[in-house]
Amino acid sequence: MAGIDYNPEILRDYAARLYARATLVTIAYCLGGVLLVVVLGTLALAARGGVSGGELLFLALIGGALGVMAGAARAFRLKLEAQLVLCQVQIAQSSMETAYMIAAQAQRPAPGWTPAPPHIPSPGATQPR
């Protein structure tokens, strides 16, 4: 394809964005867990006659812990994807370095090899056609 070149910086940037997203996912799941458990717990405890501040704090801690656990699982998948991208960049870099090294060695003569002297015809000899 014309105009499209390999650029490892784009892949590194993508991996960095995946890591940032993994952090945000963990935070979002934690906050979502707090909100969900506090709302549901408050509704359940309201039928009993009310909710104390200690109970709200306990519900928030439980919700946050559950949210962090769920978010960490999702964050792990994002970090794994980032590592796979970085691994592909490293493979490409190593492959290019190896190719350049092989090409450079192919340009050098083998050790102990000397080129044959040029053939100089003797005077009066006919040249092959």
Residue 122 lies inside a defined structural domain of this protein: no
pLDDT at 2: 65
pLDDT at 5: 86
What gap in Å lies between CA 18 and CA 10, rounded to an integer?
12
Residue 71 lies inside a defined structural domain of this protein: yes
- Cα 42 to Cα 3, 61, 68, 94: the distances in Å are 59, 14, 21, 58
- Beta-carbon contacts of 68 under 8 Å, excluding residues fewer than 6 positions away, are 26, 29, 30, 33
Residue 43 lies inside a defined structural domain of this protein: yes
Return the C-alpha torsion angle 63, 66, 68, 74, nearest 10. Answer: -130
Is the confidence at residue 111, as pLDDT, over 80?
no
* pLDDT: which is higher, 127 or 91: 91
Q: Which domain holds residue 103?
A: 8-107
- Please count the structural domains in the chain: 1
pLDDT at 4: 82
Residue 112 lies inside a defined structural domain of this protein: no
What gap in Å lies between CA 101 and CA 39, rounded to an integer?
64
Query: Considering the entire predicted model, what is its pTM?
Result: 0.68
Residue 16 lies inside a defined structural domain of this protein: yes
pLDDT at 28: 97
What gap in Å lies between CA 105 and CA 85, rounded to an integer?
31
Task: Using pLDDT thresholds of 50, 70 and 90, give the confidence band for residue 37.
Answer: very high
Residue 119 lies inside a defined structural domain of this protein: no
